[in-house]
Amino acid sequence: MTALAFGILALLLVGPAPALLARAQWPLRAPRAAMALWQAIALAAVLSAFSCGLAIAANLLVPDANGHPTTNPLDEFQSLGPVLWTIYVAVFLLTLVIGARLIFTTIRVGVRTRARRSAHRQLIDLLDRLDRTDRSNPLYARDVRMLDVDEPLAYCLPGLRQRVVLSEGTVSRLTRDELDAVITHERAHLRARHDLVLEAFIAVHAAFPRFVRSRSALAAVQLLVEILADDRAVRAVGHRPLGRALVACADSVAPRGALAVGGPTTLVRVSRLSDTRSATAVASLAYLTAAAILIVPTLAVAIPWLWEISHLVTAPR
């Protein structure tokens, strides 16, 4: 029953729950709470999947009279029956595959993304058109680079050597307040390390089988990180400068591994700037739900397993 409960919970947290949350409108008013809930769902889904596998492993290695586990899962073939034993083994192997895919995807995404950023960082440092001798230039900063491009470009490159990349087209189109909004937006991404949040969701999304995972989860999280950066820019310069800057940079694109100020979510983000409704109640409920999603499964796993471990340790040899 424990394995079944955790298996059902993992399926719900990977499929239906993200699909429902992605269609909700309240995360636009409480993005920080929504992000906490998304992270809790992702982490609880992984923990539930592993807990399901561990519970099945416990059934395949039933302790003997002295409290020691049997050393061969085949010993339980007769007691469980061929059908149930086959299901247990199949689910346990699927759990191992998910764990291996999660580790592999995390490493692959991290290595490839950082290689792209390093190569692109070297390129923009060579192509930088900003006059570094003019310290009176309002754009003068260690992390800002400007490219000789007429199209509006504005994005950031996270990492140890962070960069905020602007094009001359962006600088010429925006007023000083609007430019400050763009730079503040990109620096908010860098300061909060939103790139790591996205990498984690990419890894979790790729780890689970396609027929159970939600396609909308990653897109919803990408929108939330942009909204969180927007809110930081609003606190710095106000709603109107940011709104005008977002419209001007709506067609801005970025290389893979970077975070652009524009993109397909611009219309939604501009629309929400006029929504001043309080979201305190829904944010509090989201935080409580996130805590419950994490704490309840963790306690349900930790307490029985701590009891089993103590029983094994104290069992007579």
pLDDT in tens, the chain (317 residues): 677 777 788 888 887 888 889 889 999 999 999 999 999 998 888 888 887 777 777 667 665 555 555 556 666 666 667 777 777 778 788 888 888 888 898 899 889 999 999 999 999 999 998 877 777 777 778 889 999 998 889 999 998 889 999 999 999 999 999 999 999 999 999 999 999 999 988 888 787 777 667 778 888 999 999 999 999 999 999 999 999 999 999 888 888 888 888 888 899 999 998 887 778 899 999 999 999 988 877 776 666 666 656 665 665 55
How many structural domains are present in the chain?
A: 1
In this structure, the dihedral spanned by the alpha carbons of residues 270, 271, 273 and 277, taken in order and rounded to 10 degrees, is -160
CA distances from residue 107 to 102, 215, 219 in whole angstroms, order as listed: 9, 21, 21
From the list 153, 236, 255, the residue with the least C-alpha distance to 191 is 236
Q: What is the pLDDT of residue 193?
A: 93
Residue 313 to residue 317: CA distance in whole angstroms: 10
Q: What is the pLDDT of residue 159?
A: 86
Domain that holds residue 78: 2-314
- Exposure of 293 by Cβ count < 10 A (0-12 exposed, 13-18 middle, 19+ buried)? buried
Find out whether 148 and 129 touch, Cβ atoms under 8 Å: yes
User: What Rg do the C-alpha atoms of the chain give, in angstroms?
Assistant: 25
CA atoms within 13 A on the CB side of 11: 9
Which two structure tokens, joined as six digits, stand for 289?
Answer: 């739900």
Q: What is the pLDDT of residue 73?
A: 64
Residue 272 to residue 234: CA distance in whole angstroms: 12
Give residue for tokens 């006029």: 274
